[in-house]
Amino acid sequence: MPDSINVTETRGVPADTAAATTAAEMLGDRVNGQVIAAKVDGTVVDLWSLIQGNPVVEPVLISDPEGLEVLRHSCAHLLAQAVQRLYPEAQVTIGPVIDDGFYYDFKYDPGFSPEDLSAITKQMQKIVNENLQVTREVLPKADAIALFREMREDYKCEIIEGLDGELFSLYRQGEFVDLCRGPHVPSTRFLKAFKLTSVAGAYWRGSENNAMLQRIYGTAFADKTQLKEHMQRLEEAKKRDHRKVGPALGLFSFHKEAPASPFFHPDGALVYNLLVAYIRRLYEHYGYSEVITPQILDVDLWHKSGHYENYKDNMYFTDIDEREFAVKPMNCPTHCLMYGETLRSYRELPIRFADFGRLHRFERSGVVHGLTRVRSFSQDDAHIFCTPDQIGEEIGSVIKMILSSYVDFGFEETRIYLSTRPEKSIGDDAMWEKAESTLKEALDASGRDYKLNPGDGAFYGPKIDFCVLDAMKREWQLSTVQLDFSLPERFELEFISSSGAAERPVMIHRAILGSLERFFAILLEHTGGLLPLWLAPCQVKLVTVTDNQNDYAARVEAQLREQGIRARADLRNEKLGFKIREAQQAKVPVIAVVGDREVEAGEVAPRLRNGEQMDPMTLEAFALWMGEHSKPGDGGVP
């Protein structure tokens, strides 16, 4: 929720207050200790907002999604008030609600320490106990600026000066006042279950050219039980953090010589290539043709595609032979060039180009994050060129492809969003209306539930985003399907229809896993590093009891490898317990113990990484068992 808004857009402020009543009064006896706001004809307002007429008024409970947003926004104000009590020299800037919490940015040059967060938390609790009433007032623009200037709140003055309108709303609680559109809780006593989680640096208005601020993050819930459960999930998330798990398992690393660009080690590269192989099998089934395209192309191409105008701040450029070139951030323009090389017949369509080419995007240092936000990456990227009549069938096929892959990777919950035209876009209104309605029809035909995500489409077309929930119920956007009428027009792409006339094809952009780097990270956190047997870089570790079994273990390793099983023998002169613990720490799915009895019987004694001991098996039986449990979607190996 933005921290400021023109009061002409605020709610619950009728012109004739004499004929109005409060939302709380209209709710009557429905107001209790769990009601923190009201919903008037679907719009959330303060309980004491004045209402005219006879609208539909509903209570907003502290546990409702809307109530949780009000609660967290109010906690941001609570945080700011506590900071100003303890550190009067700190200036407040903005404090919005974010996923699972809130933050507030402060101009405080000494910075905040973990000890400071503890002191701030105690002060916040003190304010809660004071049960301060939260009230709203409206001031003319000049008076609002004068008020904050008197308070030496330079950032608030800058915010107001940059906004249109003549009247602005402010919220007060005790001595604290903030520029805000609301709504808020009636009093601070409702803010009983909160916690400050971290502190970080952040540039004012997100620009590296502006002052560095101190950002304090926090979260809040309806009660302490929910807060405790959330904090437990956060602790589990820390344990599963791919930036910790990946390097510990020897999968990847980062170096300052290549900022935000990962180095995949042998085991990491093996997993990476298994992901690519999985997608290639899907391509064979669904009729895609893989292509390879250049990474550096003349900047004229990016002018033609619209990327230069809409995406240049995220691109890398270089001069070669007195010509300006750009490193490709996307594959779509190169696929347009390939399609346009020859005149196509409608009988050739659809044409499906798939490309694992490396992409480079300049992500700001403040937003890069392990593998989930990098500057160098590859996508399981593809573009479908089809006739308008083929759109529904093609999108339906892609949806089937996407949802089946989620099952194979063990994601049980999926959410789908239809993202519409963003503020910055290319193409006319008619094109966008046609594209959005076409995607909606395809989703309706699929029978899957979806939600509208206004303004979040790509600059060249609307899209369908597919999100999964991981083991900790966090939502991750993975797959995307984007409908594009613009690029075929810009590149003058054509096909000859059945009537003999030249027509424009439709271009469908789609990715299943998305960025392979990002998917790698999500999968590591979803599994906690316990990769499924079919993806584990080492599927079985053979551990010998003594050196006497080394020759046999080496032969078993070779035989298993010949059958496509990724086996490794640990022949070190170490104790058996040490070898087993080390294999468990490496999260190897199967550990096969080899002692004198196994050598004599020609067997192995496997145990799963969860400690479950299996009966001894012959090599043939063990290889068969491994094969049966090494398929995508199989959950037989904990």
Domain range summary for the chain, segments of one domain joined by +: 7-235, 252-527, 540-628
Known catalytic residue at 381: yes
pLDDT of residue 592: 94
Q: Which of 84, 214, 379, 539 is catalytic?
A: 379
Q: Which of 75, 157, 332, 538 is catalytic?
A: 332
**Per-residue pLDDT tens for 308-332?**
988 899 999 999 999 999 999 999 9
- Cα–Cα distance, 470 to 370 (Å, whole number): 18
pLDDT of residue 634: 59
**Per-residue pLDDT tens for 58-105?**
999 999 999 999 999 999 999 999 999 999 999 999 999 998 899 999
Report the interhelical angle of 266-286 vs 516-527 (nearest 10°): 110
Known catalytic residue at 241: no
Known catalytic residue at 332: yes
- Cα–Cα distance, 37 to 63 (Å, whole number): 11
591 and 581 in contact (C-beta within 8 Å)?
Answer: no
- 1/363: higher pLDDT: 363
Q: Which of 72, 136, 230, 361 is catalytic?
A: 361
Give the class (CATH, top level) of 252-527. alpha beta
Confidence band of 9 (pLDDT split at 50, 70, 90): very low
Q: Which of 156, 335, 375, 383 is catalytic?
A: 383
Which of these, 612, 623, 616, lies nearest to 595 by C-alpha position? 616
pLDDT of residue 445: 84
Who contacts 290 (Cβ-Cβ below 8 Å, separation ≥6)? 280, 283, 353, 354, 355, 356
Report the percent of the chain where pLDDT is more than 90: 75
Known catalytic residue at 242: no
**Per-residue pLDDT tens for 359-382?**
999 998 878 899 999 999 999 999
- Cα–Cα distance, 514 to 482 (Å, whole number): 13
**Per-residue pLDDT tens for 199-226?**
988 889 877 789 999 999 999 999 999 9
> Is domain 7-235 in CATH 3.30.980.10, yes or no?
yes
- Cα–Cα distance, 302 to 326 (Å, whole number): 8
pLDDT higher than threshold 80 for residue 238: yes
pLDDT of residue 104: 96
pLDDT of residue 638: 55
CA distances for 371 relative to 245, 258, 408, 511, angstroms? 12, 13, 22, 17
Which residue type, as a one-letter code, is found at position 51? I
Who contacts 450 (Cβ-Cβ below 8 Å, separation ≥6)? 416, 417, 418, 443, 464
**Per-residue pLDDT tens for 577-594?**
999 999 999 999 999 999
Q: pTM higher than 0.85, yes or no?
A: no
399 and 448 in contact (C-beta within 8 Å)?
Answer: yes
Name the fold adopted by 540-628: Rossmann fold (3.40.50)
> What does the pLDDT average to over 597-609?
93
Distance of CA 154 to the CA centre of its chain: 34
**Per-residue pLDDT tens for 257-301?**
999 999 999 999 999 999 999 999 999 999 999 999 999 999 999
pLDDT higher than threshold 50 for residue 13: no
Per-residue buried b or exposed e for 176-214, using 16+ beta carbons within 10 Å of the residue's own CB = bbbbbbbbbbbbbebbbbbbbbebeebbbbeeeeeeebb
Report the percent of the chain where pLDDT is more than 70: 96
pLDDT higher than threshold 60 for residue 618: yes
Known catalytic residue at 526: no
pLDDT higher than threshold 70 for residue 637: no
> What does the pLDDT average to over 160-188?
93
pLDDT of residue 19: 57
Confidence band of 106 (pLDDT split at 50, 70, 90): very high
Confidence band of 7 (pLDDT split at 50, 70, 90): very low
Q: Which of 116, 178, 355, 381 is catalytic?
A: 381
pLDDT of residue 186: 94
Known catalytic residue at 383: yes
Q: Which of 195, 307, 463, 510 is catalytic?
A: 463
Instruction: Examine domains 252-527 and 540-628 and report if their fold is the same.
Output: no
